[in-house]
């Protein structure tokens, strides 16, 4: 399967592509219709000119004027005239058609238009009008024809102009649509970027609302409403964790004190229970730290001697009889941070190693 470029999968690209296809179809269809309409109009004008010319020739013939003079002066490449007798022979013709047969089939009555090509005088297309000058099939037929070069040149010029103009118009429209869609979707991108930047600690932030009352504005309102619900849910969760941790600290402290005062250090069960209680106390302390962090309480920032914390926690492990920590590689190390959280990190690491 060919992978579609990421840009083409965007709404902006799809809308622009759809607009380009639609405009191309519309302009292409309009161009073809315009060319066909121009051809029809020019053909009609040529037919009207042939009718007028044939009327003049028929009037001259009926007035008894000599046929050679009537047919004289015709451009040998653009026009031709034939007078066909009742038996089908050519009685009189222009110089360019002397000795040639009738160029079209003779109509039984009335007149008929025809388009022919391949005539002996010129290898172009001619528009031909043939008319019976009397009633019945025995009457003579007058034929006039004119070259369609000018018509074809006009149609070809229009088609060439449209073929060059339509792609430019489509490209301009595509650029305009691309710009307009990008401008329209810019608030949506701002909402997406702002939403992506909101983390669990930034639920108080909101996306911008354009205030236009359109779909983008309703989207921003919906996103902000969702953030309101998430913030309210997170606050409830933080309060629950904090309240639960506070409630657990008191009984755990009493249990710890009772075990240390009344317990028997020689009893293995006592040592195990005391260790579990201490572990629960640390877990509650961790939950309180997380609750404070999630509620936005910033940690302390002060100089801390990390090596002192390591030594103190190693001594605690030794006093509790859980092992011996090799401190020969510990050297002075000071940093800026929260001493309680740093102590918790060291303690967790040593507890895990001791276990």
Specify which of 47-51, 179-183, 252-256 reaches the highest per-range mean pLDDT: 47-51
Dist CA 88 CA 111 (whole Å):
16
Mean pLDDT to the nearest integer, 71-79? 65
Q: How far is Cα of residue 32 from the mean position of the Cα atoms in its chain?
A: 28
Buried b / exposed e over 122-147, threshold 16 CB at 10 Å, is beebbbbbbbbeeeeeeebbbbbbbb
Neighbour count for residue 98 (Cβ, 10 Å) = 10
pLDDT at residue 127 is higher than 70: yes
pLDDT for 285 beyond 70 = yes
pLDDT of amino acid 2: 45
Residue pair 79/103 in contact by the 8 Å Cβ criterion: no
pLDDT score, position 74: 57
Range among 132-141, 161-170, 189-198, 315-324 rated most confident: 161-170
| Percent over 90 (pLDDT), the chain | 23
The whole model's pTM is what? 0.57
More confident residue, 277 or 49: 49
- The better pLDDT of the pair 176, 219 is held by 176
More confident site: 288 or 333: 333
Give burial (CB, 10 Å; 0-12/13-18/19+) of 148. Answer: buried
Q: Once rounded to an integer, what is the mean pLDDT over residues 34-52?
A: 93
62-66, 119-123, 150-154: lowest mean pLDDT where?
62-66
Higher per-residue pLDDT: 294 or 347: 347
What is the H or E stretch that residue 118 is in?
strand 111-119
Res. 295 pLDDT band, cuts 50 70 90? low
Residue 69 has pLDDT above 50, yes or no: no
Q: Which has the closest alpha carbon to 307: 334, 284, 270?
A: 334
How many whole angstroms separate alpha carbon 330 and alpha carbon 306?
Answer: 10
Average pLDDT over residues 217-244: 80
pLDDT at 319 over 60: yes
Q: What is the mean pLDDT of the chain?
A: 82
The stretch 17-43 carries a mean pLDDT of 93
Average pLDDT over residues 311-333: 88
271 vs 96, more confident? 96
Q: What angle do helix axes 339-354 and 268-294 make, rounded to 10 degrees?
A: 140
Give the sign of the dihedral formed by CA 209, CA 211, CA 212, CA 218.
positive
Helical spans, DSSP H, in the chain: 11-62, 67-71, 149-197, 215-262, 268-294, 306-319, 339-354
């Amino acid at each position: 399967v060919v992978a579609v470029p990421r840009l083409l999968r965007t709404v902006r690209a799809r809308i622009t592509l759809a607009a380009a296809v639609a405009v191309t179809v519309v302009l292409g269809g309009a161009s073809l219709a315009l060319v066909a309409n121009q051809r029809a109009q020019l053909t009609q004008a040529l037919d009207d000119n042939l009718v007028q010319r044939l009327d003049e020739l028929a009037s001259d013939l009926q007035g008894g004027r000599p046929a050679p003079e009537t047919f004289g002066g015709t451009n040998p490449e653009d026009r031709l005239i034939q007078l066909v007798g009742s038996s089908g022979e050519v009685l009189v013709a222009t110089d360019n058609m002397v000795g040639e047969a009738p160029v079209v089939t003779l109509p039984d009555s009335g007149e008929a238009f025809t388009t022919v090509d391949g005539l002996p005088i010129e290898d172009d297309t001619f528009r031909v009008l043939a008319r019976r000058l009397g009633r019945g099939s025995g009457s003579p037929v007058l034929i006039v024809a004119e070259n369609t070069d000018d018509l074809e040149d006009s149609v070809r010029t229009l088609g060439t102009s449209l073929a060059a103009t339509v792609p430019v118009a489509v490209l301009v429209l595509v650029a305009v649509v691309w710009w307009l869609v990008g401008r329209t979707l810019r608030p949506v991108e701002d909402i997406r970027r702002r939403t992506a930047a909101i983390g669990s600690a930034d639920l108080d932030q909101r996306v911008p609302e354009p205030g236009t009352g359109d779909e983008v504005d309703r989207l921003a309102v919906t996103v902000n409403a969702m953030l309101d619900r998430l913030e309210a849910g997170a606050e409830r969760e933080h309060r629950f964790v904090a309240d639960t941790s506070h409630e657990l600290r008191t009984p755990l402290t009493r249990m710890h004190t009772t075990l240390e005062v009344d317990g028997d250090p020689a009893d293995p069960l006592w040592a195990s229970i005391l260790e579990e209680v201490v572990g629960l106390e640390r877990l509650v302390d961790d939950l309180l730290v997380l609750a404070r962090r999630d509620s936005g309480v910033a940690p302390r920032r002060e100089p801390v001697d990390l090596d002192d914390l390591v030594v103190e926690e190693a001594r605690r492990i030794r006093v509790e009889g859980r092992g011996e920590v090799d401190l020969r590689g510990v050297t002075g190390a000071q940093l800026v941070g929260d001493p309680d959280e740093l102590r918790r990190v060291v303690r967790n690491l040593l507890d895990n190693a001791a276990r």
